[in-house]
Chain A
Amino acid sequence: EAGVTQFPSHSVIEKGQTVTLRCDPISGHDNLYWYRRVMGKEIKFLLHFVKESKQDESGMPNNRFLAERTGGTYSTLKVQPAELEDSGVYFCASSQGTSGRNEQFFGPGTRLTVL
C-alpha cells in the first residue's frame, strides 16, 4: 500500500510568488493534517481536514496560507504571496481516526525555500 506522498519534494521561489504544495494521503484515510518546520524551530501543527471539511485551522500562521481538500482526497496548501519566513519543510500526514491514539502517517515533506 502506498504511503502519504507529497509533491514537489523541493520548491525554490522568489519572495512574493505563489507556491502550491500537494499531499496525497493514504487511501481510505479521512483525516489529513498539515504540519511545518520552519528554520531552527520545532514541527508545528497547521490544520486538520476530515474528508473535505476543515476541522481545525488553529495553526495556520496567517491568511497568506490556504488549504483545500476538494472531494476529500488529496489536499493542496497554497502560499500566496510567499515571504522569507515561510521557508521550511511542510509535512502532510493522514490517519484513519482522530483519537490521540491513532497513528498519523507522515509524508516525506516538501522543502520550501523562499529567496
Chain B
Amino acid sequence: LAKTTQPISMDSYEGQEVNITCSHNNIATNDYITWYQQFPSQGPRFIIQGYKTKVTNEVASLFIPADRKSSTLSLPRVSLSDTAVYYCLVGDIGDYKLSFGAGTTVTVRA
C-alpha cells in the first residue's frame, strides 16, 4: 500500500477555500486516490476519487499532477459544517481494504 502523508490539522474561516495536500511518493500504476470525510460521531463518507489530472464534483475538486506523487483536495467556500477529518487514501483498483491514516482535521471558524 502506498503510504500517504497529510497535515495533521488546518484552520480556516467561513467562505475561504481550503486546500489539503497529500503526499504519496510511492504510488503505483494501478493506484487510485480517494478522499473521505468524517464528521464527529459519524462514519467516513466518500468525497471524491481520481487517477490523474483534475476531478470535480458538487463537493470538492481533486488536483493530481502528472507524476501523481501528490494530490490536493480543494474545498471551495467552506462553511462551519465542513469542520471534519479528511482522509487521503491511495489504493489499488482491486483493493477493497481501505487504509485510513491519521487524516487532516479541518476546523472552520466563523
> Which A residues have a C-beta under 8 Å from some C-beta of B?
4, 31, 33, 35, 42-45, 48, 56, 58-59, 91-93, 95, 98-109
Contact = CB atoms under 8 A, between A and B. Distances in A.
Specify which of B43, B98, B102 lies most central, judged by the most chain A CB atoms within 10 Å of its CB: B43
Interface of B: 32, 34, 41-46, 49, 91-102
B98 A101 contact: no
Given A108-B42, A109-B43, A100 B92 contact: yes
B3 to A, nearest CB: 12
A43 B100 contact: yes
B46 A103 contact: yes
Given A59-B97, A100-B32, 9 more contacts: A4-B43, A43-B98, A45-B99, A99-B93, A99-B96, A100-B34, A100-B92, A106-B42, A108-B42
A104 B42 contact: no
B43 A45 contact: no
B93 A56 contact: no
* Closest CB pairs A-B (n = 10): A106-B43, A43-B100, A103-B46, A45-B97, A100-B93, A98-B96, A100-B95, A100-B91, A91-B43, A106-B44
A4 to B, nearest CB: 7
A92 B93 CA distance: 21
B46 A104 contact: yes
A43 B92 CA distance: 18
B94 A99 contact: yes
A48 B97 contact: yes
B59 to A, nearest CB: 13
Specify which of B34, B100, B102 lies most central, judged by the most chain A CB atoms within 10 Å of its CB: B100
B44 A43 contact: yes
B43 A107 contact: yes
A42 B102 contact: yes
Contacts of B44: 43, 91, 106
Nearest to B30: A100
Contacts of B45: 106
Contact of A102 (B42, B96, B97): B96
Specify which of B34, B41, B97 lies most central, judged by the most chain A CB atoms within 10 Å of its CB: B97
